[in-house]
Amino acid sequence: MTAEPERLTPGQLRTLFLFEALDADQLAWLAAHGRVERVAAGAAVYAEGAPATCFYVLLTGAVRLYRTVHGDEVEINRTDQRGVYGGATQSYLDDQEVYRNSMWAIADAEFFVLPAESFAHAVRSWFPMAMHLLEGLFIGMRNTQTVVGERERLLALGALSAGLTHELNNPASAAVRATEALRDRFAAMRHKLATIADGRLDGRRLHALVALQEEAVERVGRARPLSPLAASDAEDELTDWLDERGVTGGWELAPTLVSGGLDAAWLERVGAAVGADGLEPAVRWLAYTVDTELLLREITDAATRISGLVGAAKQYSQLDRAPYQVVDVHELLDATLVMFRAKLPAGVRVVREYDRSLPPIPAYAAELNQVWTNLIDNALGAMGDEGTLTVRTGRVDDLLTVEVADTGAGIPAQVRPRIFEPFFTTKPVGEGTGLGLDISYRIVVNKHHGDIRVTSAPGNTVFRVLLPTTPVPGPPPVSYT
């Protein structure tokens, strides 16, 4: 035979602040449906992640609430206040299937316990207006958070896309200009080749000139950029050499020849190969050769930059890759920094302090890129037009760490505890939604079972993301919006 559970009387229930405004019938219903439970000091009242079956109200004793973040217990509260409650606190919204924290008794404790379904029935039937308001608050906030979060991501993507377009436009325009100039150089080379080959040079000298042309091409490939002063001196010296030998327009040819690594001593060999009469057409032909090689190199550099930017964009978006994969966080960070290149003020210096010995980690790469985007964007906003942005990687025990640090004014101590709250922002109205850090927190903590922390002082604000180096245990949440 099962023992009858110990119950409270309606009068005893009225002494709890949660129930003091209820009428006699409501108190009697609670007394009939609830029971008293005792938990010894050091024992669990309920555990995070277990099915949320009961609503608990503290009668005597003391308890602590905590959440587990990647194996670490993060204490939320500890109290001995009579009447405090926990457990299935949102069961009336059909929105709580498991306990969202753990409660432990730190002294022998006594509770009034109400089954979750009874608690839900009481709230729904006794407070219909409050239920509508609560549903509107929770569901409305969730929907607002989803819509505003999507809008914020679109705005961030739009800003980064504009920057990427600007970055792509520069090398693309350079390649177009170089191609147009190259067409003119080829036409001039064909004309000058006809002049050289009109009978003034015999076959031996023409072969020697072609050999010198090949050598000139090799010198262009090896040429190192000169300082402005050294280049100016070399151009003056070469101009004088050309003028002395009757080559017209030497001041126009000298900069091209110097850029290709050709000097007066090398041109002496050209003069010896073709003779005085053939020197000017030969020099001009070689100048066109050098200019052509320089333009081809410019086109190659532009195409390489475009390819690099497209590769960075693909790395950033992860559109052609599996959502969950093993990734090198340095590649993700570099891709994000490339996306920000056009947005970086001239006075902001970027410092990378990477620990290249770190292993690749399993992660949702595209979503981590969103975390880096939010943290870097906040850092740039905190610094304004000048400062130092430091992106650092390292290891703490078995966790990989990524730090984004800035030299801005810092986060005031009074608002620091709230920075990860949804819709909380210190930016002026219309300039921030307050969801960037909230989304980042949920991506790191909920989806990757990691942690994100912040320390701040004027001139040194550091956001530290800690990520596990082993696969995320169990199925992750399907959404962070």
Query: What mean pLDDT comes out for the span 321-346?
Result: 81
Least confident of 116-125, 131-140, 141-150: 141-150
The pLDDT value recorded for residue 365 is 83
Q: Residue 39 pLDDT > 60, yes or no? A: yes
Identify the band that residue 227 occupies on the pLDDT scale cut at 50, 70 and 90.
Answer: confident
State whether residue 403 is helix, strand or coil.
strand
Tokens of 162: 């504009």
Q: Residue 438 pLDDT > 80, yes or no? A: no
pLDDT, greater one: 151 or 205: 205
Query: What mean pLDDT comes out for the span 475-481?
Result: 36
Query: What mean pLDDT comes out for the span 74-81?
Result: 82
Query: What mean pLDDT comes out for the span 238-257?
Result: 85
Q: What single letter denotes the amino acid at residue 335?
A: A
Distance, in Å, from the CA atom of 196 to the CA atom of 208, rounded to the nearest integer, reads 13
Distance, in Å, from the CA atom of 291 to the CA atom of 298, rounded to the nearest integer, reads 10
Cα–Cα nearest to 119, from 9, 38, 19 = 19
Distance, in Å, from the CA atom of 440 to the CA atom of 237, rounded to the nearest integer, reads 61
Tokens of 284: 């001009």
Element (H, E) at 453: strand 451-457
Q: Which residues are CB-contacts of 21 (< 8 A; sequence separation ≥ 6)?
A: none
Least confident of 69-83, 296-310, 347-361, 441-455: 296-310
**Chain segment 272-328, per-residue pLDDT in tens:** 877 777 788 788 878 878 887 777 777 776 776 676 666 656 655 554 455 678 889
**Chain segment 16-35, per-residue pLDDT in tens:** 999 998 999 999 999 999 99
Q: Which residues are CB-contacts of 134 (< 8 A; sequence separation ≥ 6)?
A: 92, 93
Q: Residue 149 pLDDT > 70, yes or no? A: no
The pLDDT value recorded for residue 82 is 94
Range with top average pLDDT, 189-198, 260-269, 286-295, 448-457: 448-457
Beta carbons within 10 angstroms of residue 434's beta carbon:
19
Helix H, strand E, coil C: the string for 42-76 is CCEEECCCCECCEEEEEEEEEEEEEEEECCEEEEE
Distance, in Å, from the CA atom of 479 to the CA atom of 110, rounded to the nearest integer, reads 38
User: Cα 95 to the chain's mean position, in Å?
Assistant: 32
Q: Residue 448 pLDDT > 80, yes or no? A: yes
pLDDT, greater one: 90 or 190: 90
Nearest 5°: the CA angle 428, 433, 439 is 140
Tell the residue number behind the tokens 């090689």, with chain if given.
Answer: 293
pLDDT, greater one: 359 or 296: 359
CA distance between the termini of the chain: 51
Q: Which residues are CB-contacts of 207 (< 8 A; sequence separation ≥ 6)?
A: none
**Chain segment 374-429, per-residue pLDDT in tens:** 898 889 888 988 999 999 999 998 899 999 999 998 888 777 777 776 544 555 43
Distance, in Å, from the CA atom of 119 to the CA atom of 35, rounded to the nearest integer, reads 12
Give percent of the chain with pLDDT exceeding 70: 72
Q: Residue 199 pLDDT > 70, yes or no? A: no
**Strand locations in 70-158, DSSP E?**
72-79, 85-87, 102-115
Distance, in Å, from the CA atom of 175 to the CA atom of 177, rounded to the nearest integer, reads 6
Tokens of 354: 């990477």
Least confident of 41-45, 98-102, 132-136: 132-136
Nearest 5°: the CA angle 272, 277, 281 is 90
pLDDT, greater one: 28 or 344: 28
Phi (first) and psi of residue 4, to 5 degrees: -70, 130
**Chain segment 363-375, per-residue pLDDT in tens:** 888 788 888 888 9
The angle, 0 to 180 degrees and rounded to 10, between the axes of the packed helices 279-317 and 264-274 is 130
Query: What mean pLDDT comes out for the span 53-64?
Result: 94
pLDDT, greater one: 307 or 11: 11
Identify the band that residue 481 occupies on the pLDDT scale cut at 50, 70 and 90.
Answer: very low
Least confident of 98-107, 225-234, 306-315, 442-451: 306-315
Helix H, strand E, coil C: the string for 312-380 is HHHHHHCCCCCCEEEECHHHHHHHHHHHCHHHCCCEEEEEEECCCCCCCEEEEHHHHHHHHHHHHHHHH
Identify the band that residue 431 occupies on the pLDDT scale cut at 50, 70 and 90.
Answer: very low
pLDDT, greater one: 263 or 74: 263
pLDDT, greater one: 321 or 61: 61
Q: Residue 121 pLDDT > 60, yes or no? A: yes
State whether residue 40 is helix, strand or coil.
coil
Length of the chain (residues): 481
Distance, in Å, from the CA atom of 46 to the CA atom of 52, rounded to the nearest integer, reads 9
Distances (CA, A) of 206 to 121, 193, 248, 281, 404: 102, 10, 22, 12, 62
